[in-house]
Amino acid sequence: MKKERAEFPKGKQAEFMRFAKEASGKPWRSLGEYFGIKYNTIRSYCKENIRLSFADFEKMCKKLALKPRSVLRQFQGKKIAWSPEYSLKNAVYLGKNKTQLKETQIEYPAKKIVFDNSEITFSKTDVEKNIKLPEKMTPELAEEIGMHMGDGFLSSRKFDYRLKGNKKDEKEYYQKTVEPLFKKLYNANLRLKVYDSAYGFELYSKAIWEFKTKTLGIKPGKKKQIKIPESVKTNNAAILGGFIRGFFDTDGCISFKSQNKNKKYYPVIGIETISQNVMEDTYNMLKMFGLNPKCYKNGNKTAIKLNGYNNLRKYNQMVGWRNPKHLKKIKKWEEEHFEIAKKYMAAVV
């Protein structure tokens, strides 16, 4: 059964709520109890975050000994039928896209990073496999470093590097993005396979292990104290965007939340990891891109969230995704909420 709402022009609902408060003679804190409506709901009505329920409107009019029709005329309102789709559009109109973003301003110094790999040792196997090492920092290398910060593991006991994701929904990402990237950067032929609870590879290479530890300065072993290499922190949006993309593609997520009991339409980009150092630098990079990240502790982990349409749109423009599992979610959202995507996102995918 469809519910009903009292619809007012923008600003008039708040005006009616102020009128009702004055007519009741009650302070704001007592208004909910006086009308028999939850205080948080009263606040949402006042801020015009949600449409006024017609049942609540009638309840308020009755308490104030007013005729609903007369009050509707006074505040230019009308009674409307409600449906999830209609409410969804109004929820967006009523303030769900408030996040204001800044212009991109990268604060890192401009520098061209050229690596000295002369001290790196190539094992006999590395030579036989014709393993190569990057000679300078590039967006592709930065993306691979982001993957490392996300789902990678560098052994501290042997020349072993592992990168593994979810075996249920990340095979395509590893086959179409990760595998050719390692071929381009290191001339490494990966052996992708299914493990007990993951999908990915284990790569044994003394040269690549030393490149990561000596040239890039990535600490092997547990990730708690791992840091983003200084060579990534340069005044180059493509390099920073590459790092963030690799990090979020492997360890991040994109989800769509419900607001005011509506269908799941409100975008949230998130990531969480145990390394506070990595998260602090990632947070700063996102701020430099003009995004509006929220950072907080969650137990022994640090989390970052980017909420709302503006964050989603600019993240897509500045960083983007290459992991199909994220792209499919966005595509589905765009198809289900075409009007919102068209209005706020231009072309997300």
Across 62-66, 86-90, 250-254, least confident range:
86-90
User: Is pLDDT above 80 for 82?
Assistant: no
Distance CA 135, CA 147 (A): 19
Residue of 292 and 337 predicted with greater confidence: 292
The conformation of residue 92, written as its DSSP 8-state character, comes to H
Distance CA 275, CA 288 (A): 20
Backbone φ and ψ for 119, nearest 5 degrees, come out as -95, 0
24-60 residues labelled b (16+ CB within 10 A) or e (exposed): eeeeeeebbebbebeeebbebbbebebbbbbebbbeb
Nearest to 273 by CA among 297, 257, 307: 297
pLDDT, tens only, 132-169? 999 999 999 999 999 999 999 999 988 999 999 999 99
**Quick one: pLDDT at residue 157?**
84
Across 49-58, 75-84, 292-301, least confident range:
75-84
The rounded percent of the chain whose pLDDT value lies above 90 is 72
Q: How many residues does the chain have?
A: 349
User: Is pLDDT above 90 for 218?
Assistant: yes
Average pLDDT over the chain reads 90
Across 36-40, 101-105, 263-267, least confident range:
263-267
Distance CA 56, CA 75 (A): 16
- Domains of the chain by start residue, with CATH: 4-82 (1.10.260.40), 124-345 (3.10.28.10)
Residues 229 and 115: beta-carbon distance below 8 Å: no
User: Is pLDDT above 80 for 72?
Assistant: yes
Secondary structure class of 190 (helix, strand, coil): coil
Place of tokens 């180059």: 236
**Quick one: pLDDT at residue 95?**
41
Sequence-ordered alpha helix ranges (H) in the chain: 12-24, 28-35, 39-47, 54-63, 68-74, 84-93, 124-128, 139-151, 171-173, 179-186, 206-210, 237-251, 276-288, 309-318, 324-336, 338-345
User: Is pLDDT above 80 for 320?
Assistant: yes
Residue of 222 and 179 predicted with greater confidence: 179
**If you average pLDDT over residues 182-200, what whole number do you get?**
96
Nearest to 134 by CA among 248, 216, 245, 191: 216
pLDDT category, 85, cuts 50, 70, 90?
very low
User: Is pLDDT above 60 for 84?
Assistant: no
- In single-letter form, the type of residue at position 58 comes to E
The rounded percent of the chain whose pLDDT value lies above 70 is 91
pLDDT, tens only, 241-283? 999 999 999 999 999 987 655 677 889 999 999 999 999 999 9
Across 49-58, 82-91, 111-120, 304-313, least confident range:
82-91
